[in-house]
């Protein structure tokens, strides 16, 4: 029997990394909700985001950097990226390579993912696209 850790990391990797959401959809509970900076998101919202990223980045990929498992919780530190070859977030294709890191904290019960909280900084992506500059502001008079 496959552990929940294996099921989640395999399904999550296939969905985000390959664009194949079948396994991810199969292990999400009906009440699944994803929490992000933009607010609560349903499974349909997450699937749309996966499709948009794979459409906008020609060689989009994702890799898991670290996984930590607790009772009923799995934390995934991830890195994703690709070449910006299609419109994304209203930004026309730039041809730039983009890499973003973040973390997802997944809660599960009875073999199903019930919720997920994701943290990542969209400014990292916008900076890689060349439309936002991440820099340390200089202090006047110093």
137-141 long-range CB contacts below 8 Å, 24 or more apart?
none
From CA 97, how far away is CA 87, in angstroms rounded?
14
pLDDT at 48 over 90: yes
Domain-located, residue 107: yes
For residue 85, the domain's CATH number is 3.10.450.50
Domain-located, residue 121: yes
Residue ranges making up the domain that contains 97: 4-128
From CA 103, how far away is CA 73, in angstroms rounded?
13
Give me the number of domains the chain comprises.
1
pLDDT band at 118 (very low <50, low <70, confident <90, very high): very high
Residues 6+ apart with CB under 8 A from 58: 82, 83, 85, 86
Domain-located, residue 135: no
Domain-located, residue 27: yes
> What would the pLDDT profile of 31-45 be if each residue is shown by its tens digit?
999 999 889 999 999
Domain-located, residue 137: no
Residue 68: strand, helix, or coil: strand
* pTM across the whole model: 0.85
From CA 66, how far away is CA 70, in angstroms rounded?
14
Domain-located, residue 136: no
> What would the pLDDT profile of 88-104 be if each residue is shown by its tens digit?
888 899 999 999 999 99
């Amino acid at each position: 029997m496959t552990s929940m850790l294996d099921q989640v990391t395999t399904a999550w990797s296939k969905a985000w990394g390959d664009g194949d959401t079948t396994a991810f959809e199969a292990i999400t509970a009906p009440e699944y909700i994803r929490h992000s900076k933009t607010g609560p998101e349903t499974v349909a919202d997450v699937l749309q985001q996966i499709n948009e990223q794979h459409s906008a980045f020609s060689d989009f990929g994702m890799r898991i950097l670290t996984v930590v498992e607790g009772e009923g919780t799995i934390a995934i530190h991830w890195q994703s990226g690709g070449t910006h070859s299609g419109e994304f977030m209203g930004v026309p294709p730039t041809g730039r390579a983009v890499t973003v890191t973040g973390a997802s904290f997944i809660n599960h019960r009875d073999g199903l993912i019930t919720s997920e909280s994701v943290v990542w900084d969209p400014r990292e992506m916008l900076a890689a696209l060349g439309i936002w500059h991440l820099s340390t502001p200089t202090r006047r008079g110093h």
